[in-house]
Amino acid sequence: MSAPLPTAVQQWRSEGRIAVWLHIPILQSRFIAPAAALGFRFHHAESDSSTLTLWLGEGPSRLPGYATHQVGVAGAVFDENTRKVLVVQDRNKLKNMWKFPGGLSEPGEDIGDTAVREVFEETGIQSEFRAVLSIRQQHAQPGAFGKSDMYIICRLQPRSLTIRFCQHECLRCEWMELSELASIENATPVTSRAARLLLYGSREGFDKIDLTAEEFPAVYTGLFYKLYHRELPDSYKTMAGLD
């Protein structure tokens, strides 16, 4: 942008533009005050930059907000041979209850990859994503800075069994009988419910509880997305013979 910002804003208005996004690196933050004087407002900030917006259209701004949710992911690593599931107790909690290892998903990271990574970082157990078990949604979560919070539990299959848990994050870590986890009082409510889902799936078939992932090309060239849903019969995937 070669023209001074006031001149540029005037030109954008005359061209009929409806909004301006202004990206300011942290070392150039002296430009924030002059931009604010022209009506720019903060949209979001990251570690090394901030983004401001100016609505030029008619009526209230229709620009989307930012960071309305955070996404936490946990891994329920279930060993079908021993019928045990991997659980931890957090070191830094006032009330230490059994739960599945997990943490926040990083930008650009698939849900299953988050679960596998967090399980390994906390417990040293290597695992493989199999399906999504459950999704919890809650609002006004203090730990999410007042934003809405999504918490997704994934079913994982173990690829190793020797626990080497992170003592900075975990107070305890062990393989627990699934039936025990489904009935003990010293587990979080969402953990107890997920344990009962696992117990039902292990007895009746995981196809009754699993939300599996399938990848599709997005409308944006070169990008893909994953759709999570109950498994469809092959005939319904192609609609062959169903017309």
**113 and 127 Cβ atoms separated by less than 8 Å:** no
Residue 126's pLDDT band, with cuts at 50, 70 and 90, is very high
Judged by phi (left if over 0) then psi (alpha if -120 to 50, else beta), residue 144 lies in: alpha
At 87, is the secondary structure helix, strand, or coil? strand
Compare 168 and 124 and report the one with higher pLDDT: 124
Q: pLDDT per residue over 62-80, tens digit each?
A: 888 887 888 999 999 999 9
Q: pLDDT per residue over 76-118, tens digit each?
A: 999 999 999 999 999 877 678 999 999 999 988 999 999 999 9
**How high is the pLDDT of residue 237?**
67
Neighbours of 91 (CB within 10 A): 14
Give the chain's mean pLDDT.
91
**How high is the pLDDT of residue 239?**
57
CA–CA dist 53, 39 (Å, integer): 9
Q: What is the pTM of this model?
A: 0.82
CA–CA dist 13, 199 (Å, integer): 61
Compare 198 and 93 and report the one with higher pLDDT: 198
Q: What percent of the chain has pLDDT over 90?
A: 71
